[in-house]
Amino acid sequence: MSNPAKKTVLGNAATIFLIAAISLFILSSSQLLGQQEIQVRIFKEVDNLFLQARAVQADILSPENYKKAINVHEDALKDFSKGKNVDEKIEETKKWLSLSIKNAQRAKTVLEHLIKAREDAINANVIDYARDLFEKAEDLFGDATRLLEKGKVKKAKEKSLQSEKLFREAELIAIKTSIVGHVRRRLSAAEKNKIHKLAPQTLGKANRLLEEAETILNSNRSAKTEAKDKAELADYEIAHAEFLYTQIKKLKEDDLNWEKLILEHENYIKKISDNLSLVARFDEGLAKPTDAIIKTIKSLKKEIKDLNQEVNRLDKNIEKLESEKEGLHEQLSQLKEKEAGLRTKLSLEEKRKQKFKKIESLFTRDEAKVFREGDNVIVRLIGLKFASGKSVIDPEYFGLLTKVQRAIRIFPDYHITIEGHTDNKGDARKNQSLSLNRARSVESYLMANMGLTEEQISSVGFGESKPIASNETRDGRAQNRRIDIVLSPPNN
């Protein structure tokens, strides 16, 4: 076979092999995707239960049942991958998950204080500051939840009290360490460096402030801000003591440093004096120039006070002039406001008229009469009839009530009152009860179909007390047996 022929055969073989490989890959991928879809469908309910269990912290509050659910679920997944039936293991997983959810919800009630103590401890970063104590409390926490799973409530509560105490201790240690720990370490370092020998009063003040901070936390661990303020003051006094220690140590090393220190303080006083245009002399010490500074500051304060009073007088004069000016504009402003109010009122009235006409157009004369009483819109349902002595709405009137829903939506912010009325035939008390029941039937229908709240709609029965026609005639009594839908604007 010639070389070109060989190449053609080999090329065709390679192409066939490539097509076969691609087909096999597509087939296996399709099978894999199909298997994944089946797995999702079969395990969907279990996966949802796992989500519910984690939402109620079942892994923590019902650990044994949750662990059993995990183990059976893993076995079910392995069996599924081998093509085995997993129905029984899915049901068993669901059983353990349901138990874990139920026990977790129970634990939230029985172990409420313990759970809160644990959360507070974690929020206080006990892992960083009191790990050993937290781990002991966590072990007891696990014992309490497992005992509760077994129904041993009394023993669970005993473990709960022990665990809660340790969590609270760990929390307090963590809070103290985070707020005063670094200051306490700095104070210890200062005492180790013998700062107290040259600055005992300042370092003692720092120590007292730190003790006050700890006392605050011991009595009320939530008073963190107050304790932190004390700790920051203590930290400042430690830095102050360290500075004094350094200065005093320098003075002891060389007597000439005393002169340098005094001159340094005189220079501070001189700078202040220069800014106040005073001449500072120190031949009699610091007291005289200090007194001169204080006197000048007092004088400046008085000048500022006098200037403020003068400014206030000027402000009052300006206010008077502005008031007179405003008086001239006030009438014009009132007129403009009145005009704007009238325009707004006219605009609102026009919109209400348009909406009213829209409601009118929804109903035929035989279905309802639409009219206004003041700001209220009333839809009198002429076409809605009830069987004698009954309050059930027949399906044939659902279409009419659908139109009522459309009418209500035209005034979405209006309150809806369903009024029931009867004629005067029969007992007055029974008529009142019947009218209320009919009104409530309409109210219930509208609430169910419109998603209304109890604040948006109400019903009332007037019985025979509000006739609109004579009860002496058959037609008059028919008119008096009615349902009125009253739409009232907000704050009406």
Q: What does the DSSP assignment read for 77-137?
A: HHHHHTT---HHHHHHHHHHHHHHHHHHHHHHHHTHHHHHHHHHHHHTTHHHH-HHHHHHH
Assign 30 a pLDDT band (cuts: 50, 70, 90): very low
pLDDT (tens digit, 9 = 90+) per residue, 100-125?
999 999 988 989 999 999 999 899 88
pLDDT averaged over every residue in the chain: 85
Assign 12 a pLDDT band (cuts: 50, 70, 90): low
Res. 55: pLDDT tops 60: yes
Q: Which residues contact 430 (CB under 8 A, 6 or more apart)?
A: none
Res. 20: pLDDT tops 60: no
pLDDT (tens digit, 9 = 90+) per residue, 218-266?
888 888 899 899 889 999 999 998 999 898 888 888 878 887 888 888 8
Tell me what pLDDT residue 457 has: 94
Specify the amino acid at residue 411: F
Res. 128: pLDDT tops 80: yes
Give how far Cα 194 sits from Cα of 183, 184, 186, 199, 203, Å: 16, 15, 12, 9, 10
Percent of the chain with pLDDT over 70: 89
- Rounded to an integer, what is the distance from CA 332 to the centroid of its chain? 48
Give the angle 233-236-237 at the CA atoms, nearest 5°. Answer: 90
107: left (phi over 0), alpha (psi -120 to 50) or beta: alpha
Mean pLDDT of 325-330: 71
More confident residue, 62 or 292: 62
Contact 449, 368 (CB under 8 A): no
Specify the amino acid at residue 195: I
Coil/strand/helix, residue 407: helix
Mean pLDDT of 428-450: 94
Give the CB-side neighbour count of residue 361, counting CA atoms within 13 A: 7
Q: Residue 419: which of 464, 449, 387, 360 has the closest Cα?
A: 464
Tell me what pLDDT residue 486 has: 96
In the chain the first and final C-alpha atoms are separated, in Å, by: 105
Burial class of residue 380, CB neighbours in 10 A (0-12, 13-18, 19+):
buried
Give how far Cα 416 sits from Cα of 100, 207, 225, 240, 468, Å: 47, 70, 52, 73, 21
Mean pLDDT of 341-350: 67
Assign 381 a pLDDT band (cuts: 50, 70, 90): very high
123, two tokens: 């929020």
Res. 23: pLDDT tops 80: no
Tell me what pLDDT residue 334 has: 73
Tell me what pLDDT residue 311 has: 83
Burial class of residue 298, CB neighbours in 10 A (0-12, 13-18, 19+):
exposed
Assign 404 a pLDDT band (cuts: 50, 70, 90): very high
Give how far Cα 76 sits from Cα of 35, 73, 86, 93, 233, Å: 15, 5, 6, 9, 63
Q: Which residues contact 141 (CB under 8 A, 6 or more apart)?
A: 114, 118, 159, 163, 167
Question: What is the pTM (predicted TM-score) of this model?
Answer: 0.47
480, two tokens: 């008096």
Tell me what pLDDT residue 141 has: 92
Tell me what pLDDT residue 36 has: 67
What radius of gyration do the chain's Cα atoms show?
A: 44
Mean pLDDT of 62-83: 89
Q: Residue 418: which of 451, 460, 377 has the closest Cα?
A: 460
- Among 24-28, 292-296, 340-344, 447-451, the minimum mean pLDDT is found in 24-28
Mean pLDDT of 85-89: 86
Res. 394: pLDDT tops 90: yes
